Amino acid sequence: MEIIKTENLYFDYEIYDDKGVVTDKNTALRDVNLSVQKGEFLAVLGHNGSGKSTLAKHFNGILLPTSGKVFVGNIDVSDDDSIYEVRQSVGMVFQNPDNQIVAAIVEEDVAFALENLGVPPEEIRLRIDEAMHLVDIYKYRKHAPHRLSGGQKQRVAIAGVIAMHPQCIVLDEPTAMLDPKGRREVMNTIKMLNEKGVTIILITHYMEEAAQARRVAVMDKGQIIMDGTPKEIFSEVEKLKEVGLDVPQVTELAYELRKAGMELPADILTEEECLKELIKILK
């Protein structure tokens, strides 16, 4: 069952002069056709300026197509009357958690959107407790967010989205500002949510994060140029390098060893896989 679909999606950023007159445009998305099934874990890769964040903002109507269509379920996101339903179905988590946290106490921040929607207080209490337990921040519920680490703040932001009970969560480079420990915390949370049936779309430029997804789409110059499983995508080392992307370090190692004459598979993604294949060769 499709939860998100784009059809021939184009998007232009308009450029204005000092008088507010459009003088030019920058086409950020070009003929993007993408289908995301309910329960998928899709990572979208691309270098800066490839269009991946612009695409993400179309999934819940933050941006609207210049031409083409974006559907959430059967709803056209361009339909103004349905935007509330779209944003209940698809939640967004952004790069900087400080830009998404608005309250002085963690549990108040998680409750913020629900209060604005007029959800009954007893329902709010149930939902925020459930969300905080789910991402393991319940013990910080009375803390001030500014006292938390970057990874903990990002989990507060995720909890606020979870409390809305979305079918899909889009995360736009959520670990870009975090240290390695914070990145691990957030990635563990993302994988746990997906295992519970939440559709995940992860925008990232970290190869090791994309390798943990079930499916990877690669963007370049506003188009999707590759789409497949992590093993399929990262086995194309030279093609990825042509568009300015790396591969996971262990995949790069296996690639260099193959160039040196060792008969290793092209789709190695983990250290365990690499070690297993090296042991076979060295026996």
Q: How many secondary structure helices (H) and strands (E) does the chain include?
A: 11, 10
d(CA 219, CA 232): 15
Query: Who contacts 236 (Cβ-Cβ below 8 Å, separation ≥6)?
Result: 226
- Asked if residue 283 has pLDDT above 80, the reply is no
122-151 pLDDT tens trace: 999 999 999 999 888 999 999 999 999 999
219-228 pLDDT tens trace: 999 999 999 9
Q: What is the pLDDT of residue 61?
A: 93
- Asked if residue 277 has pLDDT above 90, the reply is no
d(CA 229, CA 155): 27
Of the two residues 19 and 248, the one the predictor is more confident about is 248
Binned at pLDDT 50, 70 and 90, residue 58 comes out as very high
Q: What is the pLDDT of residue 266?
A: 86
pTM over 0.85: yes
2-57 pLDDT tens trace: 999 999 999 999 888 888 788 888 999 999 999 999 999 999 999 889 999 999 99
Question: CA nearest 154: which of 94, 108, 205?
Answer: 94
Highest mean pLDDT pick, 19-33, 205-219, 257-271 = 205-219
Question: CA nearest 93: which of 154, 147, 146, 178?
Answer: 154
d(CA 58, CA 232): 27
d(CA 161, CA 41): 17
Which superfamily, per CATH, for 2-247? P-loop containing nucleotide triphosphate hydrolases (3.40.50.300)
Q: What is the pLDDT of residue 42?
A: 98
- Asked if residue 181 has pLDDT above 80, the reply is yes
What average pLDDT does the chain have? Answer: 91
